[in-house]
Structure 1
Amino acid sequence: MLRRITSLLCLSLAGWHAQAQTVLDPALIERVRQLAETAARATAPPGTRVAVETGQLDPRLRLAPCQQVQPYLPPGMAAWGRSRIGLRCTDGVARWNVTLPVRVAVYGRAVVASGPLPAGVNLSQEHLALADIDIAAEPGAVFTDPAQLIGRTLARPLGAADALRAPALKSRQWFAAGETVQVLAVGPGFSVASEAQALSAGIEGQDVRVRFDSGRIAAGRAVGERRVELPL
């Protein structure tokens, strides 16, 4: 009986010790927060405020004791919104590598809907307002000047105080197929302007093919009213 009790006690202590490895040192949490904040500030617009909330490691993890843990931002991981910071053991009984969830908020002034707006509405000044929001809460660029949105059409409905983000707007058609367009060929340190005929409609931000007077056909991107940019 004594042997059984001792065994159970040892197992309990071992389980407690393994679980304790998922509780991170406050100093390490602060390093994680500073790393996430620095990464966010590198791309945040001027005048914005960054706030970082750290989550917890998966309680099912069983990490070996480690004397030195290095936090890092994994390649390709977003610096805004819901993301993860890597934690790498560089000095311990066993080398391990895990990620810790973080939420990075970037507060700034942006254009929002002044009230509920249905899809298809043609935006006017009365539909728009300015407010301090978390611009990292959702994907898509925000706007800081209401004048940029006057005349644009909503692709989906918005609630009151929802941010006006690029994905919520219908793409504009800059020109129709058959129209003559200005083509700007851009290369390292130079640019050349010429005219061509559009072979399809020029939708904002989408690729379009054009034909030059010589008969050569090239693909560029519709960037403005009867304007195409052709990277070289």
Structure 2
Amino acid sequence: MRTTLLVSLIFMSALATPVLAETTADDIRLATTSFLAAFGRTQAKEGYKVTFETGGIDSRIALAPCSAPLAVEFTGDPWKSEHPSIQVACSGERPWRMFVTTTVSISGPALVAARPFGRGERITTGMLKTRSVVVNATRRGIMTDVDLIEGMVVRRPVNAGSVLTPDLLEAPDAVTRGDHVIITARSGSFSVRSRGKALANASIGEQVLVENLASSRTVRANVTAPGHVEVPM
């Protein structure tokens, strides 16, 4: 009698415990599309339009039940690829993870060349225009702020209509070979100035060899502004 009662209690307890269903392809697809839709809504607030498709998921897939909400994240940068992979994972009692291929297109405004650019030209506002492009179609990035690139120098020829990317431009030289510059030797709040001559071209933030005109010594200095360099004491 006691054995029968014990078996009955175990059976009733099993009935009271919910049995989780296996995780199916539909569950994976729903988690992936929900994640991408949320990503799209977030980017829409910043002025970008996101369209997406998920890759094929084997309809026969049956993963362990997940007692926790599925975690979804990009495993690649969607801003640098139109085909970022997505990881769907379960951190429940029987953890697992799988990857889903996607096609993601992010469209938004970008600066493009209003006319052909020649190497060495300095960028002005009139040389630029804005149009909508697929931002993640290029891994080199885009540029959107005119103020940040005005005055920069074109590194190589650019065709009209080309999207401007950081590798196409460089900061202009703040000093050029033969320029007379002010050398500031600094130690804490103490500094000494002298005159020098640049022995090469360099932009702000770069290092350049400078000849001290008073001592004829050559020093390596950091360019801090047009015509100004600094060396530590």
How far apart are residue 71 of structure 1 and its match? 1.1
2 CA distance for matches of 1:102 and 1:148?
31
**Partner residue, 1:4:** none
1:131 to 2:131 alignment: yes
- Are the aligned partners of 2:71 and 2:90 in contact in 1 as well (CA < 8 Å)? yes
1 CA distance for matches of 2:134 and 2:191?
40
**Partner residue, 1:163:** 163
Higher-Rg structure is 2
Q: Deviations over 1:132-173 (max 9, x none)?
A: 334444223414338954683351332x42222221125522
- Are the aligned partners of 1:152 and 1:170 in contact in 2 as well (CA < 8 Å)? yes
1:81 to 2:80 alignment: yes
2 CA distance for matches of 1:183 and 1:58?
65
How far apart are residue 70 of structure 1 and its match? 0.6
2 CA distance for matches of 1:113 and 1:102?
28
Q: Deviations over 1:73-101 (max 9, x none)?
A: 45xx5352324433222237552353644
Other structure's SS at 1:25 match: helix
TM-score, scaled to structure 1: 0.55
1 CA distance for matches of 2:94 and 2:148?
60
Structure 2: which 5+ residue stretches go unaligned?
Answer: 1-23
- Are the aligned partners of 1:54 and 1:101 in contact in 2 as well (CA < 8 Å)? yes
Other structure's SS at 1:87 match: strand
Other structure's SS at 1:96 match: strand
Between stretches 140-149 and 128-137, larger displacement belongs to 140-149
Letter in 1 for 2:34: E
**Partner residue, 1:107:** 108
Other structure's SS at 2:86 match: strand
**Partner residue, 2:30:** 26
2 CA distance for matches of 1:205 and 1:55?
46
C-alpha spacing 1:147/1:100, structure 2 compared with 1 (3 Å): closer
Structure 1: which 5+ residue stretches go unaligned?
Answer: 1-19
Question: Alignment RMSD, CA only?
Answer: 4.9
Letter in 2 for 1:26: L
- Are the aligned partners of 1:180 and 1:195 in contact in 2 as well (CA < 8 Å)? no
- Are the aligned partners of 2:113 and 2:158 in contact in 1 as well (CA < 8 Å)? no
- Are the aligned partners of 1:181 and 1:226 in contact in 2 as well (CA < 8 Å)? yes
**Partner residue, 2:99:** 98
**Partner residue, 2:15:** none
**Partner residue, 2:71:** 70
Identity of aligned residues (%): 11
Aligned positions, number: 196
